[in-house]
Structure 1
Amino acid sequence: MPRLIRFATAPEQRRLWRALFTLLLVAITWLALVPAPPPAIGTGWDKSNHALAFGSLAFAGAWAWWPRPRQWGWLAAALLAYGGAIEIAQSHLPPRTGDWLDLLADGFGIALGLLAAWPVAAIAARPR
């Protein structure tokens, strides 16, 4: 098994993936709820920011807590609920506004993150 695949899927690496996931969660929450996020942090398009953030969370979350693809539905549901909570919170925080298209972009990012994790999981599941 290639080293990168072993690194991503090894149970002893879960602590590192959990730390990364937590760091991403804190950073994304702060960026989502601060009145004016720094303009230098971003892709230039709000929807791609959402997709990138949630894709990163999904990929890291797959290895942090749910390393088997059959468990990824729970991860996707939890991340989508988190994205919905952010949109609801933003609707109560001027000058921010909640946008359900942002939630759609979150879902797209989650799908992309899990799609990127899928071949890694498939290779790791092969018998040696």
Structure 2
Amino acid sequence: MPATVRQLLRLLFVIVLLAVFWLALLPAPEVPRLVAWQDKIEHAVLFAALALLALAAWPRQALRIACGLLLYGAAMEVAQALTAHRVGDPLDWLADATGLLVLLPFARRRHDRL
């Protein structure tokens, strides 16, 4: 992958991280529940997507990406706990970790084949 594309992916990753953090601190919108644990599924999918984007930008840094995103998720839950209109939930953080744990072995296997 050309260096310019990788730089754009890195910039996009930072922008997405900032946007997600900002949105996580806004009052929670009313979202119809389609399945039980929907919010946890959303967390897992979001963090898997964040990891995919990060791995595209830094392909050989899976462990650092996972650790960084785990810290990011924890910081988000702490920040939400400090707002008047959101609640920090440790189960949300566990869902974040689940999304990472499900994705990273597949991403690593794909990278090893390249």
Shorter-chain TM-score: what band?
0.7 to 0.9
Q: Which runs of 4+ in 1 moved over 3 A?
A: 37-40
Residue 83 in structure 1 maps to residue 73 in structure 2: yes
Contact 2:62 2:108 in 1 (8 A): no
The answer for the alignment partner of 1:113 in structure 2 is 103
Alpha-carbon distance in 2 for matches of 1:112, 1:24: 21
Alpha-carbon distance in 2 for matches of 1:14, 1:38: 36
How do residues 91-110 of structure 1 correspond to structure 2 at under 5 angstroms?
Answer: 91-110=81-100
The answer for the alignment partner of 1:22 in structure 2 is 14
Structure 1: which amino acid aligns with 2:6? Answer: R
Contact 1:33 1:89 in 2 (8 A): yes
Segments of structure 2 that go 5 or more residues without pairing to the other structure are: none
Mark the CA change 1:35 to 1:103 in structure 2 (over 3 Å): closer, same or farther. same
Alpha-carbon distance in 1 for matches of 2:34, 2:56: 25
Cα shift readout 1:55-114 (whole Å, capped 9, x = no counterpart): 11111111212x12xx32111111000000011011111221111011100001112332
TM-score (norm 1): 0.73
Contact 1:89 1:98 in 2 (8 A): yes
